Amino acid sequence: MLGVYLQRSWIINLAIGTILLPLYLFTTPIYLLLGQDEAIAERAGVVSLWFIPFLFQGCLSTNTQMFLQAQMRNRIVGWLSLASLAVHVLLSWIFVYKLNLGVPGAMVAFNISYWMIVVGQFVYIFGGWCPGTWTGFTTAAFTDLWPVLKLSVSSGVMLCLELWYTAILILIAGYMKDAEAAISAFSICLNILQWVFMVGIAFLIAACVRVANELGKGDAEAVKFSIKVVLSIGASISILFFILALVFGHQIAYLFTSDEDIAKIVSSLTIYFAFSVLLNSIQPILSGVAVGTGRQTTVAYINICSYYLIGVPMGAVLAFLANLGIKGMWIGMLLGVAVQTLILGYITWRTDWDDQVKQASERLRALLLKGDVEESNENLVQN
């Protein structure tokens, strides 16, 4: 049934990706409608078109990666990511520096390297390296899509609320006096924060898979041990990143720009940026633990409260009413992440893992029974 679930997720993701396509095609008029600077809107409209291949890559790759990791096939996931990174660096150097293609060249390198992962995943799965879980395409993938969609919506809303949070803050930064400098400085810090967040995402996936697997096995002690291990490693890495952010925060802008005004703005955010790095290495792990227990909806509500009822309003107030500018926006964002981390930490601490094991066992029995019925029906149709 795991292969059938994978195919259902592909169908749902591709359908949703198609629905979202107009946002990429009409980015410029949407930005102008929101009152953004015309030059910024035009540039965003050009870049957004290059993200369309990446949109559909994500529709296929993300679920396929989870499919492989659920079977403890982490090595192939790691090798594909490493190969993609190497190709991305090489192609970026060729297209941007040697051929002087600028942003289009960078986006071509970006899309090629990411689609390499999809091709590699498909070769691995279709090539027969997952014999126990992949038996080929089946029409059963087009049945019972609604339950998968409901679960996907919860997970999708959870992640979208998190990703849109920073996008909304950049949008708000576009209304400041020196909009281009503000957006540039904010984007530099967010880019570095996203690098750190990718490490956190890796731990999110690891925590989600390990917690879900151990719950499925019915071992509450193993669940608690897995959480302790992941949190310990994540905390150690976050402290290291925190120290590096404090040490190099005043110089890091020069990796992206030679503009002194932008570099000064980035430098003024150093202390707030460092604490954001610290929290963004811990928060994804706690989210992963919650998702592993099937609490996607709970995390989505937490994200709404912490980001959109606290983070964004506080950032806007501090930026415009308190005249703190970009610094105020970043403080608001930091407050939102801090609230989210505290709530998720409290939920993890108060969770009765023995009760979670019991609930997981009941769900598993129901799924196995339903899977047997579906398999029997499919065999009858084939006969």
pLDDT of residue 340: 92
pLDDT in tens, 54-75: 999 999 998 999 899 888 888 9
Measure Cα distances from 108 to 49, 53, 101 in Å.
11, 10, 10
**Local confidence band at 10 (pLDDT 50, 70, 90 cut-offs):** very high
pLDDT tens digits, one per residue of 85-117: 999 999 999 999 999 998 899 999 999 999 999
Stronger pLDDT, 194 or 20, i.e. the higher one: 20
The answer, as to whether pTM is greater than 0.75, is no
Q: How far apart are CA 312 and CA 381, in angstroms?
A: 54
181: how many CB neighbours lie within 10 A of its CB?
18
Helix (H) or strand (E) holding 111: helix 102-124
What pLDDT, in 10s, does the model give residues 355-371?
A: 888 887 877 776 666 65
At residue 325, the pLDDT reads 85
Compute the distance between CA of residue 48 and CA of residue 64 in angstroms, rounded to an integer: 25
Confidence (pLDDT) at 14: 94
Average pLDDT on 139-168 reads 80
Whether residue 171 has pLDDT greater than 90: no
311 or 296, which is more confident?
311
Q: How far is CA 272 from the centre of its chain?
A: 22
**DSSP secondary structure letters along 158-174:** HHHHHHHHHHHHHHHHT
Whether 147 shows a pLDDT value over 90: the answer reads: no
Q: What is the pLDDT of residue 381?
A: 46
Query: How many Cβ atoms are within 10 Å of 228's Cβ, its own excluded?
Result: 10
What mean pLDDT is predicted for residues 312-333?
90
Q: Is the pLDDT assigned to residue 161 strictly greater than 90?
A: no
Instruction: Calculate what percentage of the chain has a pLDDT beyond 70.
Output: 95
Report the distance separating Cα 25 and Cα 48, nearest Å.
7
pLDDT of amino acid 378 = 52
Q: pLDDT tens for residues 234-248?
A: 899 999 999 999 999
